[in-house]
Amino acid sequence: MTHDLLDALVNRRHPVELPMCRSFWDRLHDRRVDRAEAAAVLAALSTTMPDPAAVTTVVQSLHERRPAHGHVFPAAVNIVGTGGGPRTANISTAAAFVAAAMDVRVVKTGSRASSGGVGSIDLLDRLGIGLTRSYEETGHLLDRFGIAFAGYFVYPTELTRLARTVLPLDLRTIGRWINTVGPFLADLPVSAQLTGVSDATHLPALRALAAAQPGKRIWLCANDLGADELISFTANSVHGALDLQVQPVGDGALTQLAAPAEDDVVPHFLDLLAGLAPVAAVDTVCLNAAALAVAAGHEPDLPAGFRTARAAVADGAPRALAERMRRVVAHG
């Protein structure tokens, strides 16, 4: 039947299977999926997270359509969250720069803000640091700066087709599922990934997606604050090959992590890299950078990584790296 995937997602009387997913993507490619069906599939995925097997099948059906590219970024790590949760400053992008200043190779993916505020891509636009447009360009920047920000080419083209098909409906309204599983949709050939999960009920599905990528060390982190990053002043759980609890490294409150006014985004971000923000915010950035360093095998444990991250910030290396990238990348 034409609508097998939609029926499986909405009524859940039978499992989501690869043939029905393949049929849907084929019809989408041939422009035989109309707006109503595309919107209904997205809404069904986004309203209630399907079971882990279904989520894994849908994501697998997208990955198998990707052409092989042959690129590998050994010992590199990605930090990316599912979005959602309290609006904070861009912790993950700051942590990426701090980790790179610690000599950890970082290739970061991200997105634009889904409900106001400034997402990682919005921030990079304002900094004048563009996204890469190919694996070759990503590798070049990674070798030159120790950090690169991968562009849309790492994501399935089917997502763009979906967005166009549902117009004038907004993908941010009916396609929340894409943000949630986005960290597992990118074809990013790194060795490790740190993914913050804002909604802990999604952990079973995301753990299944992580298990489906055995060649990559993937850590999923969550906390009671519902933030999609490690937070320095609360207990965090990290789910991976070994589950562990990360205890607070200091005191603080969410107000100290709050996103600045839009006109202040760039100065606030650069101050954060220089350690001139509230202590809780700097500690949170350093804790995430430490996790990147440990996941990449660059530091033995989180306490050691945290000390190294704090030393890098005190030395001014992360801000200097960001400023150098702004000068070089923005001017070609």
- Looking at residue 261, its pLDDT comes to 87
Task: State both tokens at 260.
Answer: 């600045």
- Looking at residue 223, its pLDDT comes to 96
Q: Cα–chain-centroid distance for residue 57? A: 20
pLDDT digits (tens, 9 = 90+) for 136-183: 999 999 999 999 999 999 999 999 999 999 999 988 889 899 999 999
- Looking at residue 315, its pLDDT comes to 97
When pLDDT is cut at 50, 70 and 90, the band that residue 17 belongs to is: very high
Picking from 100-114, 188-202, 251-265, which range would have the lowest pLDDT averaged per residue? Answer: 100-114
Top-tier CATH class for 77-155+186-330: alpha beta
Task: State both tokens at 81.
Answer: 């969250």
Residues 6 or more apart whose Cβ sits within 8 Å of residue 190: 73, 76, 77, 78, 107, 216
The CATH architecture one would assign to domain 4-64 is Up-down Bundle (1.20)
Which amino acid, 230?
L
0.85 exceeded by pTM: yes
When pLDDT is cut at 50, 70 and 90, the band that residue 331 belongs to is: low
Q: Where are the domains positioned within the chain?
A: 4-64, 77-155+186-330
